[in-house]
Amino acid sequence: MAETYQNFIGGTWVPASKGETFDSANPASMDEVLGTFPRSTAEDVDAAVQAAKGAYHEWMQTPAPERADYLLRVALLLEERIDEWSELMTREMGKTLKESRGDIQEGIDFLHYMAGEGRRMQGMTVPSELRGKFSMTVRHPIGVVGLITPWNFPIAIPTWKIAPAIVAGCTSIFKPAEDTPLLATLLVKAFEEVGLPPGVLNLVHGFGEDAGAPIVEHPDVRAISFTGSLEVGRMINERCGALMKRCSLELGSKNVMIVMPDANMDLAVEAAAWGAFATSGQRCTATSRLVVHEGAKSEFTERLLTRVGGMKVGNGLEPDVELAPVINAEQKQRVLSYIEIGKDEGAKVLIGGNELTGEGYEKGNFIEPTVFDEMTPDMRIAQEEIFGPVTGIIRTDDVDEAIRIANSVDYGLSAAIYTHDITNVFKAITQLEFGIVYVNAPTIGAEIQLPFGGMKNTGNGHREAGPQALDEFMEWKAVSVDFSGKVQKAQGID
Ligand code: NAI
Ligand code: MG
């Protein structure tokens, strides 16, 4: 029997008020259950919001360096637990052990980074036009916030939201993805262990419509930070618009890698294989389009196929496995249906294209690494996020056309170019409509000290991580002190 876990509300572990539960399963072996979790509803969300509201006043007055100290302590705990948690992460969401480790490391790195923010959190001093008047800006926490996360980075993404919320002085309700409730619970337990005051971080498990939507709707929640699908993000954006809430969205993409004839082919092939197939393509920065110059195409294609053909698909716990399962049966069907769409549109499957069903694959969600050729920019498989081990090659004749193709999608998260030509490099840097641009590096593998987020439908202008991380959770307050002993009127009025 798998262990039963609970919600964390106001510093207490409690079941869902309706008593319902759901299980978390291993995508490599769906009959292995990692735990049973509360299936929460609006009632549970309301209890969590009340707890967050109750804790807010005291918390926002706690000095920022003191708030930040909890982050540092959690980082140190995670360092001790990285091996144990990586294995649990691989069992809960499938990706390889190395990648699970990287996910937790990213969380640790960001906790360290945000812990430092507690002693920065700078504002500005600005001159006044009047004598005896002093002006400055200070940051102010936005209040109670809702954090809704996906399953592909079960520690890193929640950390990207929880850490800045905490250091900012916000109190929060965290609703993790229903596919990765175990890792979310472990993370919240770590905050409990280091003594974070009750109500500052509340955990409500459950499904999107039952437990996510009530957070968005709750009148006392001032801001929503969401990472997930465009479809849900658009809905949240509309609701937050109507309710006058701040909302920051990170909604995936249709990322691209451009390969020019002067590219170092060893590096370009490896970057494409890693960018397209790490986490089985289930990264918002996954390389799902390869725009390859005619002068490089035959060599690049041949070498990529050799590389992909040698990938072992299997359980992410096995050390030589490169391609792990996709998260659940629904996603598997979704990815397979996109492969059919690609074939119907006239793209040619060069390798892969099928579900794996034989020995070792019976109980999991395994799909072969799939590469299409003859993909054209207007095809659905070149426009829509597939979120699986599928990529495709689009041919091009010059860098300007390559950039036009790269930009011809509604998303704009991550783009890469492989070239050594300085003109190509600067055209890419200045013209690509993507929030993250790499030169001679893969589209995946963002570092936490840089802002993360995208243009167009990838989001709504906010950035996570980097020096911008606090902006999601803080307001700017303009403060002026008049010590002139007079009532002074600005703009020359006397
Ligand atoms: P999703 O967008 O449905 O789920 C993400 C989170 O939102 C989960 O915590 C979910 O419970 C919550 N949610 C769902 N409906 C909600 C609602 N009405 N109100 C509030 N919260 C809600 O993503 P899902 O179903 O896991 O994956 C579907 C597709 O989304 C993927 O194939 C992929 O294209 C995209 N996706 C993109 C991600 C990224 O990193 N950008 C991450 C996960 C999914
Ligand atoms: Mg969904």
> Using N-to-C axis directions, what is the helix angle for 156-168 and 97-117, rounded to 10°?
10
Residue 183: what residue type? L
Q: What is the pLDDT of residues 297-330, one digit of tens each?
A: 999 999 999 999 999 999 999 999 999 999 999 9
Mean pLDDT of 338-356: 98
240 lines ligand 1 (CB under 6 A): no
397 — pLDDT class (breaks 50, 70, 90): very high
Among the bound ligands, the one closest to the CA of 207: 1
pLDDT at 188: 99
- The CA distance from 396 to 406, in Å, is 11
Distances (CA, A) of 139 to 76, 167, 341: 28, 11, 49
Is 445's C-beta closer than 6 angstroms to any atom of ligand 1?
Answer: no
Assess whether pLDDT exceeds 90 at residue 355: yes
Q: Would the CB of 211 count as within 6 Å of ligand 1?
A: no
Residue 156 pLDDT grade (very low, low, confident, very high; cuts 50, 70, 90): very high
Ligand 2 centre distance from Cα of residue 352 (Å): 26
Residue 229 neighbours by CB distance under 10 Å: 15
Nearest CA, atom 27, ligand 1: 229
Q: Which two tokens stand for residue 485?
A: 């002993």
DSSP 294-348: HHHHHHHHHHHHHHHHTPPBS-TTSTT--B---S-HHHHHHHHHHHHHHHHHT-E
1, pLDDT greater than 80: no
At 162-203, the pLDDT tens digits run 999 999 999 999 999 999 999 999 999 999 999 999 999 999
CB atoms within 10 A of CB 4: 12
Residue percentage of the chain with pLDDT more than 90: 99
pLDDT in tens, 201-254: 999 999 999 999 999 999 999 999 999 999 999 999 999 999 999 999 999 899
pLDDT at residue 280 in the model: 98
d(CA 444, CA 449): 15
Q: Ligand 2: distance of its center to the CA of 211 in Å?
A: 13
CA distance 222 to 56: 12
Provide the token pair at 238.
Answer: 């509309």
DSSP for 426-468, written as a single string: HHHHHH---SEEEESS-S----TTS-B--EETTBSS--BSSTT
Q: Give the pLDDT confidence score for residue 297 in this predicted structure.
A: 98
Share of the chain above pLDDT 70, in %: 100
Q: Tell me, what's the pLDDT at 154? A: 98
**Distance between CA atoms of 321 and 324, rounded to whole angstroms?**
7
Q: How far apart are CA 472 and CA 456, in angstroms?
A: 18
* Rounded CA separation 252/18 (Å): 33
Chain mean pLDDT for the chain = 98
pLDDT tens sequence across 194-205: 999 999 999 999
Q: Say how many Å lie between the CA of residue 351 and the centre of ligand 1.
A: 29
Note the pLDDT tens digit of each residue in 36-83. 999 999 999 999 999 999 999 999 999 999 999 999 999 999 999 999
Q: Does the pTM of the predicted model rise above 0.95? A: yes
Whole-angstrom distance, CA of residue 277 vs CA of residue 288 = 9
Condensed to tens digits (0 to 9), the pLDDT of residues 279-302 reads 999 999 999 999 999 999 999 999
Judged against a pLDDT cut of 80, whether residue 436 lies above it is answered with yes
State residue 211's pLDDT score.
Answer: 98
Tell me the CA–centroid distance for residue 124 and ligand 1, in Å. Answer: 38
Question: How much is the pLDDT for 222?
Answer: 98
The helix (H) or strand (E) run that includes residue 47 is helix 42-61
Name the active-site residue from 240, 284, 385, 472.
Answer: 284
CB atoms within 10 A of CB 361: 18
Task: Give, in order, the Cα–Cα distances in Å from 395 to each of 88, 289, 373, 415, 433.
Answer: 41, 10, 9, 16, 20
* Catalytic residue check, 250: yes
Ligand 1 touching residue 335 (CB < 6 A): no
The pLDDT, as a whole number, for residue 382 is 98
Say yes or no: CB of residue 414 within 6 Å of ligand 1.
Answer: no
As a whole number of Å, the CA-based R_g of the chain is: 24
User: 284 an active-site residue?
Assistant: yes
The helix (H) or strand (E) run that includes residue 32 is strand 29-38
Q: What residue's CA is closest to ligand 1, atom 18? A: 209
Closest C-alpha among 259, 247, 234, 279 to residue 390: 279
Instruction: Give the Cα separation of 471 and 487 in Å (integer).
Output: 34
User: Does 285 contact ligand 1 (Cβ within 6 A)?
Assistant: no
Q: Considering every ligand atom, which ligand is closest to the CA of 334?
A: 1
